[in-house]
Amino acid sequence: MTTSAIPGYGTLLKMGDGGGPETFTTIVEVTELNLPELTLKTEDATSHDSGGWEEVIGTLLSGGEISGKVNWRATNATHDETTGLLSAILNRTKKNWKMVLPGSIKTFAFAGLLTKFKGLAPVDGKLEAEFTIKISAAVTVS
């Protein structure tokens, strides 16, 4: 049987500018991305007439966090402290984000705060940065 697996290569992370209409710019040189971890919180709703089995109901959905890495280009507009990733964390700005899977087969859209930016400068290697975005509100999948 031939696989139908889809390569992750070509997945894009885009950051909105907050304008109307909003423009999304692709973050350059992303080397690693984790998709949103969607979770449903539950509440125990077991009662005396539940037949001896635990019953739960779904309450709040959470998009969790996404994380990733970039080849850090400190002066690039999508990475710098004026309009890029550094700007988003330094200014505590909630941004609109889109993760677009290869060939636009699916898009995850959400608002979130950049909560971590960690630059790496190894002696024998390239400048990199790790980042984390905490999702705030709904994740739309299209």
Q: Where are the domains of the chain?
A: 12-34+65-141
**Averaged pLDDT, groups of 10, the chain, 142 residues long:** 93 96 98 96 96 97 97 96 96 97 96 97 96 97 97
At 54 the pLDDT is 96
On whether the pTM is more than 0.85, the answer is yes
At 1 the pLDDT is 86
User: Is 2.40.30.210 the CATH classification of the domain at 12-34+65-141?
Assistant: yes
**Single-letter code of the amino acid located at 72:** W
At 140 the pLDDT is 97
CA gap 97, 70 in Å, rounded:
16
